Amino acid sequence: MTLDAKIPKGPLAEKWSKHKFDLKLVNPANKRKYDVIVVGTGLAGGAAAASLAELGYNVKAFCFQDSPRRAHSIAAQGGINAAKNYQNDGDSVYRLFYDTIKGGDYRAREGNVYRLAEVSVNIIDQCVAQGVPFAREYGGLLDNRSFGGSQVSRTFYARGQTGQQLLLGAYSALNRQIHLGKVKMYTRTEMLDVVTIEGHAKGIVTRNLINGAIETHSGHAVLLATGGYGNVFYLSTNAMGSNVTAAWRAHKRGAFFANPCYTQIHPTCIPVTGDHQSKLTLMSESLRNDGRVWAPKTKEIAEKLRKKEITAAQVKEDDRDYFLERKYPSFGNLVPRDVASRNAKEMVDDGRGVGGSGIAVFLDFADAINRLGKDAVAAKYGNLFDMYYQITDEDPYSQPMRIYPAVHYTMGGLWVDYNLSTNVPGLYALGECNFSDHGANRLGASALMQGLADGYFVIPYTLGDYLATIGPKPVDVKHPAFEKTKQDVLAYINKLLALKGTKTVDEYHRELGLIMWEYCGMARTEAGLTKAKGLISALRADFWKNAIVLGDNEEVNSSLEKAGRVADFLELGELMVDDALARRESCGGHFRLESQTPEGEALRDDEHFAYVAAWEYKGDNQPEVLNKEVLDFEFVHLTQRSYK
């Protein structure tokens, strides 16, 4: 199948303006005749639901949490990028575009990324108007800080809780529309399937997580803003409930899944302490503005540190290897995430890791505290330091943090065109749920930017074009497709509830996570991936025989909820491995050991792999089919990424 990304022709800077003019409009009196379903209420979903309701559409919004305010966008720490150039340091829309394309290792679309950079400036205006309390200078104007992969300060922030403040802004806009009766909000409700009629998405099937009721909802369009799939690794910085189910079920109804192997392993997370661990906690990338990453120069010193014979402070300056500053003098500690993570892994693999397990490096603030004072450091990062202390029982003001990479974000997701439409007409994907803007590696502070760009400034325009085309005729809720899909969902639930084996769902999830981390994590090989494929396939077969799922459908049943999500992760895991196997090059977060430069950096193969891999579901236990969308680079010259 030929995939048409529908990128408008013409000069980069004019594509979006021209496209907006070319899109059909729905007249104001007709908008109230359309129903739009939005699944997920994070930055992308919350912003979309509110903005579409403001325009006059009737919106039904869904989240599995008890309130839309708890979507996992809330946990984003460091900030949001925007090409405002308030610092007069040479930033521009083009520079943000260029940094993002390069940061993604030339595996994203030029048109999409330019639009993202273009609307970034509107996002900041919007959030400030809502009352989002961004950090400010004494003159009353907005403050910025730096993030990885750029040499300008363009990141807006609200202490270490930027995601929280942006989400509460979108939540407040959503609340206003709920109050006005334009959004009907369904909380503690999980989407389990998409209803399609004659190839178009016309509704969803949901489960009420309180009483188990399986319900159908109709709409003229369905928007999925259900986040990423990092929890396929079990341990990640994602919330416990974050899952791939909505996106995966849509995939099984025909939506292509793009670049599933592109996962972001974030360099600065609190290391694992034991088998009991349920999740990993991020320490914001913003810390690399002031913190210096280092490991001991020799294995002997590392060994002494691990045995606690010496403390970090006792390691002499000459015995420390500030490896990022040494290898990448221009970007130093602010190299992109994939580069920082691989280098930390290299230190640990070389026997120079620290902490009890030896699987960590240091992030040291001693210089910053000497330079700025403890209070100034606390004002910038206080909540992060407190969090670190609560988890590790170590005071990061007096000893360096121990950090190690952890799964954080997934660049892959449902394939969408320039209009954010999947290949199933009427089905859209927004935010982390889609694959579109970050290529093979996302730059820090760009996830919040993309979520809000999609929700506030892209979908309100592009959705109208589709709705105007199909017309406002009400969706027939009596159509047999609704009942049929509902019965499919019920049958699947009953199949899960029949599992009365010996292993808990969490045990399967943990095992899957270990396989993914070992063979499809920071370094991947042909042999390892092939092995992983067999292991996952066997684990999945075992799950459907030996898992324990307790209770009934008609009640609060966390055991059943988890089982459905893990069953989907088991299928996704295999596809990720297939995708990683097929991409015989390294790019961004996808590092194939067989493909590296003499310095050990990711070596792309543009001749053979400058495409988006869009996978097509072909039925249970059938191999998926790879469709390729070739990436055209008209404006940017492809080079080997260098941060030296």
Partner 1 sequence: MSTGNMNLTLKVWRQKNANIKGAFVTYKAEGISPDMSFLEMLDVVNESLIHKGEEPIHFDHDCREGICGMCSLYINGHPHGPKNAITTCQLHMRTFHDGEIIVIEPWRAAAFPVVKDLAVDRSAFDRIQQAGGFVSVNTGVTVDANEIPIPKVIADEAFNSATCIGCGACVAACKNASAMLFVSAKVTQLGMLPQGQPERYSRVQAMVAQMDAEGFGNCTNTGACEAECPKEIKMTNISRMNNDYFSAKLFREEATHDHAGGE
Query: What is the set of active-site residues?
Result: 337
Q: In 3-state terms, what secondary structure has residue 587? A: strand
- Residues 417-456 binding partner 1 (CB under 8 A) are 456
Q: Identify which range of 21-29, 167-175, 420-428, 595-603 contacts partner 1 by CB under 8 A.
A: 167-175
Residue pair 547/503 in contact (Cβ under 8 Å)? The answer is: yes
The answer to whether residue 25 forms part of the interface with partner 1 (CB under 8 A) is: no
Among 46, 241, 413, 513, binds partner 1 (CB under 8 A): 241
The answer to whether residue 70 forms part of the interface with partner 1 (CB under 8 A) is: yes
Tell me the torsion sign for CA atoms 67, 229, 331, 268: positive
Q: Identify which range of 175-183, 259-267, 431-439, 621-629 contacts partner 1 by CB under 8 A.
A: 175-183
Among 29, 179, 307, 478, binds partner 1 (CB under 8 A): 179
C-alpha dihedral (495, 496, 502, 504), degrees to nearest 10? 170
The answer to whether residue 308 forms part of the interface with partner 1 (CB under 8 A) is: no
The answer to whether residue 598 forms part of the interface with partner 1 (CB under 8 A) is: no
Determine whether 357 is exposed, middle or buried from the number of CB atoms within 10 Å of its CB (0-12, 13-18, 19+).
middle
Among 108, 113, 116, 168, binds partner 1 (CB under 8 A): 168
The answer to whether residue 85 forms part of the interface with partner 1 (CB under 8 A) is: no
The answer to whether residue 1 forms part of the interface with partner 1 (CB under 8 A) is: no
The answer to whether residue 550 forms part of the interface with partner 1 (CB under 8 A) is: yes
Instruction: Please identify, using beta-carbon distances, which residue of 491 and 498 lies nearer to partner 1.
Output: 498
Among 229, 428, 457, 519, binds partner 1 (CB under 8 A): 457
DSSP character string of 13-28: GGHHHHHHHHS----H
Give the per-residue contact string, 513-542, with partner 1 (x = CB under 8 A; - = no).
Answer: ------------------------------
Q: Identify which range of 407-415, 552-560, 625-633, 636-644 contacts partner 1 by CB under 8 A.
A: 552-560
Give the per-residue contact string, 333-372, with partner 1 (x = CB under 8 A; - = no).
Answer: ----------------------------------------
Q: Identify which range of 18-26, 169-177, 244-252, 367-375 contacts partner 1 by CB under 8 A.
A: 169-177
Among 128, 312, 470, 626, binds partner 1 (CB under 8 A): 128
Question: 167: left (phi > 0), else alpha (psi -120 to 50), else beta?
Answer: alpha
Length of the chain, in residues:
644
Closest by Cα among 192, 206, 193, 189 to 253: 193
Alpha helices in 160-278 (DSSP H): 162-179, 245-252
Instruction: Please identify, using beta-carbon distances, which residue of 7 and 560 lies nearer to partner 1.
Output: 560
Which residues lie closer than 8 Å to 538 by C-beta, 6 or more apart?
none
Q: Identify which range of 20-28, 339-347, 399-407, 553-561 contacts partner 1 by CB under 8 A.
A: 553-561
The answer to whether residue 176 forms part of the interface with partner 1 (CB under 8 A) is: yes
C-alpha dihedral (59, 63, 65, 69), degrees to nearest 10? -50
Determine whether 626 is exposed, middle or buried from the number of CB atoms within 10 Å of its CB (0-12, 13-18, 19+).
middle
The answer to whether residue 394 forms part of the interface with partner 1 (CB under 8 A) is: no
The answer to whether residue 28 forms part of the interface with partner 1 (CB under 8 A) is: no
- Residues 464-503 binding partner 1 (CB under 8 A) are 502
Among 133, 382, 534, 600, binds partner 1 (CB under 8 A): 133
Among 3, 23, 30, 75, binds partner 1 (CB under 8 A): 75
The answer to whether residue 142 forms part of the interface with partner 1 (CB under 8 A) is: yes
Q: Identify which range of 121-129, 412-420, 516-524, 533-541 contacts partner 1 by CB under 8 A.
A: 121-129
C-alpha 98/C-alpha 80 separation (Å) is: 17
The answer to whether residue 286 forms part of the interface with partner 1 (CB under 8 A) is: no
Helix (H) or strand (E) holding 485: helix 480-497
The answer to whether residue 54 forms part of the interface with partner 1 (CB under 8 A) is: yes
Residue pair 320/294 in contact (Cβ under 8 Å)? The answer is: yes
Which residues lie closer than 8 Å to 396 by C-beta, 6 or more apart?
365, 385, 388, 389
The answer to whether residue 180 forms part of the interface with partner 1 (CB under 8 A) is: yes
The answer to whether residue 84 forms part of the interface with partner 1 (CB under 8 A) is: yes
**Other beta carbons less than 10 A from residue 467's beta carbon:** 21
The answer to whether residue 620 forms part of the interface with partner 1 (CB under 8 A) is: no
The answer to whether residue 303 forms part of the interface with partner 1 (CB under 8 A) is: no
User: Phi then psi for 397, rounded to 5 degrees?
Assistant: -75, -30
Among 3, 8, 86, 616, binds partner 1 (CB under 8 A): 86
Q: What's the angle, vertex CA 446, arms to CA 443 and CA 452, rounded to 5? A: 165
CA 128 from centroid of its chain's CA atoms: 24
- Binders of partner 1: how many residues, by CB under 8 A? 85
The answer to whether residue 296 forms part of the interface with partner 1 (CB under 8 A) is: no
The answer to whether residue 178 forms part of the interface with partner 1 (CB under 8 A) is: yes
The answer to whether residue 57 forms part of the interface with partner 1 (CB under 8 A) is: no
C-alpha dihedral (366, 370, 375, 381), degrees to nearest 10? -40
- Residues 32-51 binding partner 1 (CB under 8 A) are 47, 50-51
Structure tokens at 23: 């899109």
Q: Which residues of 508-542 are buried (b: 16+ CB within 10 A; e: fewer)?
A: bbbbbbebbbebbbbbbeeebbeebbebbeebbee
The answer to whether residue 96 forms part of the interface with partner 1 (CB under 8 A) is: no
CB 134 → partner 1: shortest distance, Å?
7
What single-letter amino acid sits at 284?
S
Instruction: Please identify, using beta-carbon distances, which residue of 134 and 415 lies nearer to partner 1.
Output: 134
Among 100, 120, 165, 423, binds partner 1 (CB under 8 A): 165
E strand residue ranges, 482-578:
503-504, 547-548
The answer to whether residue 90 forms part of the interface with partner 1 (CB under 8 A) is: no
